[in-house]
Structure formats: structure tokens, C-alpha cells
Amino acid sequence: MRSLAPALVLLLAPLATAAGQSPQLDVGELLDGPRLPLLGVGINCAECTLNNPHYVFGRPWEVASVSEGGVAARAGLMVGDTVLAIDGKDITSPEGWAKFATRTPGSSQAWLVIRAGRRETVTVSFPKP
């Protein structure tokens, strides 16, 4: 089960816990901890690697699925969107990964995506639990 933990964290992309905690999560924490809203997005990432303690996106990734009623769906993210940056941080940079992996309930982020060949900004808001 340990080998699945990084993939589960990446696919489920849970909201960040309290400030100061690492974005690394154990599957047990993910399943047994406080029930925070999930981003609700699956991704296609041909060049993703685990570079402990975080993932590295080798290039921008594409939204593969959006869970109905989830944070991503409410924000208007769509299957096929290619995510370039979050809050101005290139998604392929360590800062971009940190923005993807670490969120604060009650806050929002500006996601720069390519949709149908055009750049658009989508505001992703994270509700308080």
C-alpha cells in the first residue's frame, strides 16, 4: 500500500492542513484524518517524477477528470485544460508544485490554463471544512 500513497496524494490533491505542516501525507492520514474537501481532479502527466519530498512536473499537465461537485468542478476546470501556473508560479517549478500541493481552506488560487488553444485564468476557491 505504501507504493500507492504518492499516487493517491497526487490524484486526490487534498487541501493543505494547518500552516506549517508538510504537504506529504501518509495514506492513513488521508483516509483517517479530518475530512477536508478534495480538489477533485485527475491529471495526465507524462513527465511526473517523485523527487522526495515532492513531485516534479516535467512539463505542464492536462486535466484528465473532474469530480462532479468538487472544488475543481465548482471552479470551472474542465477535462482537457492544460495547467501552466498557479498564482503566477510555473507548474514545473518547485514553487508551482508547492502551490498545487499546499492549500489553505478559505483561500483561493488563480490557475492559468490553456483551454481550446487560449490562455484563461480560473479561480479555484477552497472552502473551509
Compute, in degrees rounded to 10, the torsion defined by CA atoms 120, 116, 73, 35. -80
Average pLDDT, integer, range 105-122: 96
What 3-state class would DSSP assign to 49? strand
44: pLDDT strictly greater than 70: yes
Would you say domain 2-125 falls under CATH 3.20.20.70? no
Q: Which of 128, 127, 72 is nearest to 100 (CA)?
A: 72
Question: 0.75 exceeded by the pTM?
Answer: no
**Taking the domains of the chain in order of start, what are their residue ranges?**
2-125
Distance in angstroms (rounded) separating the CA atoms of residues 45 and 49: 9
102: pLDDT strictly greater than 50: yes
Percent of the chain clearing pLDDT 90 (strictly above): 40
60: its cell numbers = 505542464
pLDDT band at 37 (very low <50, low <70, confident <90, very high): low
Distance in angstroms (rounded) separating the CA atoms of residues 55 and 47: 10
The distance of Cα 60 from the centroid of its chain, to the nearest Å, equals 12
pLDDT band at 54 (very low <50, low <70, confident <90, very high): low
